[in-house]
Amino acid sequence: MHRYIFNSRDIAAYIKYFSVPQYLEVSYMQYIFNLGPTVLAVPLTRDFESFKKDVYRELYFLWANGFEDEKSDIACMIERGQLTLVCDQECINLESYMKLITLHLIFTRSLPYANLNFYGLPLQLGIKCDFAIYERNVVLITEALQLKVTDRFGNPFDLNKGVPDELLRLSLSDELKDMLNASADFKQALREAQKEHMRELRENSLKVFGDMNKRRGRTYRSHQSAIMTARSQREKKVGTSLYDGMNINPSSNRQPKGAPDINKANTKGDK
């Protein structure tokens, strides 16, 4: 049985298809690189920096070729005239699609399986060969990618008997699962990368907005000081006599305009 080994184009296509955030791209590359020759081509496992450059080069090719996300045509993953490595040439899109599914199971090893209806894939992927040829290629690619196929109840399913029109469960082989379980926890690596990204954003925000907040604080304090000064000046005037500024004879019985007539009030009270 031919066992397929992933290359930099496959990793780049996964990053594009599943819209991996830019700040996590290197973390995904580092994880698959650490898995080594079990899943990655040997020449790519010798130096991480060279591998990273190859992946970024393939990312540019995919972008230039129109492969940007999950809505893109799966045929844009490959160059025109490129030959298949596992499937027949008519089923090259099936090979490309199944590589993405397998990589998703590797990167999200907590995901036990993926549901897939092989019967409807030819229409979705633009495969126009005879259905018998397609069924044979389904068997070839699942074996090459070390995938285990069961029905929706978890019972083993033999694809050599034909492709049914129902959902099947795809999961990694037990051997590949054991290898992934022995490796470092990818989720922990992603959490650390996200924390580092947030720390950098926080530091950059402090550099940009920290001085601005200080300036705003100084401006606010000076403004408050001016308000308090004006208020204190107003408060000094409180309690001044109503007679200030008026030429009134102190011996006169006349009361200022608006003041209550005390004599009349007392007279009414006596009555």
Residue 180 tokens read as 């992934």
Asked which of 122, 156, 184 is the last residue of a domain, the reply is 184
**CA 159, CA 161: separation in Å to the nearest integer?**
5
Instruction: Write down which residue in 150, 167, 184 finishes a domain.
Output: 184
Q: Based on the domain organization, do 155 and 34 belong to the same domain?
A: yes
* 74: confidence class by pLDDT, cuts 50, 70, 90: very high
Pair 180, 219 in one domain: no
Q: Cα 113 to chain center, whole Å?
A: 22
Average pLDDT over residues 21-26: 88
pLDDT band (50, 70, 90) for residue 137: very high
71 assigned to some structural domain:
yes
For residues 111-134, give the mean pLDDT: 93
Does residue 236 lie within any of the structural domains? no
Q: Are residues 209 and 107 in the same domain?
A: no
Q: Are 151 and 22 within one domain?
A: yes
The verdict on residue 249 lying in a domain is no
The number of distinct structural domains making up the chain is: 2
CA distance 38 to 28: 16
The residues that bridge with 172 in the sheet, in sequence order, are 147
pLDDT tens, position by position, 88-107: 999 999 999 999 999 999 98
Across the range 145-157, mean pLDDT stands at 92
Residue 267 pLDDT: 54
Verify that 41 and 127 share a domain, yes or no.
yes
Burial of residue 249, with CB atoms counted within 10 A of its CB: 0-12 exposed, 13-18 middle, 19 or more buried: exposed
C-beta of residue 160 within 8 angstroms of C-beta of residue 120:
no
pLDDT of residue 110: 78
pLDDT of residue 241: 47
- Residue 176 is predicted with a pLDDT of 86
* pLDDT at residue 202 in the model: 74
- For residues 192 and 141, state if they share a domain: no
With respect to residue 258, please indicate whether it lies within any of the assigned structural domains: no
Q: What is the pLDDT of residue 24?
A: 87
If asked whether residues 213 and 83 sit together in one domain, one would say no
CA nearest neighbour of 58 among 5, 95, 10, 107: 10
Query: pLDDT band for position 242 (50/70/90)?
Result: very low
Alpha carbons 24 and 47: distance in angstroms, whole number: 19
Task: Print the domain residue range for 220.
Answer: 185-229
30 and 125 together in one domain: yes
pLDDT at 80 over 80: yes
pLDDT at 180 over 90: no
Please give the average per-residue pLDDT across 241-260, as a whole number: 54
Q: Are residues 153 and 21 in the same domain?
A: yes
Asked if residue 165 is part of any domain, the answer here is yes
- 118 shares its domain with 13: yes
Q: Quick check: 254 pLDDT over 90?
A: no
Do 57 and 121 share a domain, yes or no?
yes
pLDDT tens-place string over residues 32-54? 998 888 899 999 999 999 999 99
Residue 201 has pLDDT above 90, yes or no: no
Residues 217 and 177 in one domain: no
Q: How many CA atoms lie within 13 A of 103 on its CB side?
A: 28
Full-model pTM: 0.70
How does pLDDT run across 214-241, given as a tens digit for each residue? 556 566 666 667 777 776 666 655 554 4
Q: Determine the pLDDT at residue 234.
A: 65
